[in-house]
């Protein structure tokens, strides 16, 4: 159960990554304790097309994110429309070796 909650939280973080990408040209953002570049670092690991393993930097950034903030995005319907695979997002904590990550 806790793993599922962490995954949902991570999925919301990915929504934020996509939103950050959309506003990239106009405003630099800092969201949930992660900068725009930190959010973008995780995007390839949750993309529907040609997903990769999360980079070491992605995992490092995720470990320092404000999970309470990220949890606020957990029910967003935008994931699929931004090319984000929810199953991949749910798997980030285990791929980043975060067994005790905070849950939503």
- Give the domains, in start order, of the chain with CATH numbers: 2-95 (1.10.110.10)
Cβ-contact 25, 41 below 8 angstroms: no
The whole-number pLDDT of residue 60 equals: 93
pLDDT per position as a tens digit, 23-70: 555 556 676 787 888 878 999 998 888 899 999 999 999 888 887 776
The whole-number pLDDT of residue 39 equals: 78
Report which of 9, 5, 3 is spatially closest to residue 34, judged by C-alpha positions.
9
- pTM flag (> 0.75): no
């Amino acid at each position: 159960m806790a793993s599922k909650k962490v995954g949902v939280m991570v999925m919301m973080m990915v929504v934020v990554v996509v939103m950050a990408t959309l506003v990239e040209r106009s405003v630099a953002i800092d969201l949930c304790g992660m900068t725009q570049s930190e959010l973008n670092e995780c995007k390839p690991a949750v993309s529907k097309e040609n997903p990769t393993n999360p980079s070491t930097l992605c995992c490092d950034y995720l470990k320092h994110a404000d999970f309470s903030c990220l949890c606020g995005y957990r029910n967003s319907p935008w994931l699929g429309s931004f090319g984000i695979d929810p199953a991949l997002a749910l798997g980030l904590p285990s791929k980043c070796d975060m067994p005790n990550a905070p849950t939503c």
